[in-house]
């Protein structure tokens, strides 16, 4: 299977909404209960919702032979806002490649650090990639209490020739 990482386009938005929903409802089983997963993502998001939600962000997608396989987004202020891969791609290196690509984008924009609000599952991934826990916090999406982890990564400058 050959992966390709590219910038998202408007035709990707509905697929990103479905991928987000599937990642939450399948990939987060065991870390969050059914009520928490439903509060986090009650239904697949529409193209219009995703377009508005991700407006102004850098959106990198990973594609494979089956279509959209993952995506990472970065706000202008340096928040890694969304980081999801299809459940069948979890642990195969795609997320690490998307992570590296988003870090490259952040460095090109002169960002010194990035932050993320990571799920229990994502926290392990980010720690493996050098992120530091700032605090565990309680959030209430759609009125349902759950925890996530505020994390930070200080970027090293790339030294050119």
What gap in Å lies between CA 73 and CA 5, rounded to an integer? 13
Q: Which residues of the chain have pLDDT under 50?
A: 161
Q: Which two tokens stand for residue 98?
A: 């998307």
Which H helix or E strand runs over 19? helix 13-22
Three-state DSSP state, 140:
coil
Class of domain 4-111: alpha beta
Please write the tens of the pLDDT for every residue from 83-95: 999 988 988 999 9
Name 6's Cβ contacts closer than 8 Å, sequence gap at least 6.
60, 61, 63
Spell out the domain ranges in the chain: 4-111
Alpha helices for 23-159 (secondary structure H): 34-40, 47-53, 94-108, 120-128
What gap in Å lies between CA 134 and CA 161, rounded to an integer? 34
- Kindly report the pTM of this predicted structure: 0.91
Across all residues in the chain, what is the average pLDDT?
Answer: 92
Please write the tens of the pLDDT for every residue from 118-143: 999 899 999 999 999 999 999 998 88
Q: Which two tokens stand for residue 97?
A: 């490649």
């Amino acid at each position: 299977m050959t992966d390709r990482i590219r910038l998202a386009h408007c035709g990707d938005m509905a697929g990103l909404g479905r991928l987000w929903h599937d990642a939450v409802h399948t990939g987060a089983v065991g870390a969050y209960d059914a009520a928490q997963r439903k509060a986090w993502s009650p239904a697949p998001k529409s193209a219009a919702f995703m377009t508005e939600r991700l407006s102004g962000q850098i959106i990198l997608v990973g594609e494979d032979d089956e279509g959209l396989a993952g995506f990472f987004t970065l706000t202008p202020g340096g928040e890694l806002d969304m980081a999801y891969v299809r459940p069948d791609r979890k642990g195969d290196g795609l997320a690490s490649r998307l992570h590296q690509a988003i870090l490259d984008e952040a460095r090109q924009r002169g960002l010194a650090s990035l932050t993320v609000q990571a799920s229990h599952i994502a926290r392990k991934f980010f720690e493996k990639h050098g992120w530091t826990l700032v605090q565990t916090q309680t959030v209430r999406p759609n009125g349902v209490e759950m925890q996530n982890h505020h994390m930070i990564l200080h970027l090293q400058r790339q030294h050119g020739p």
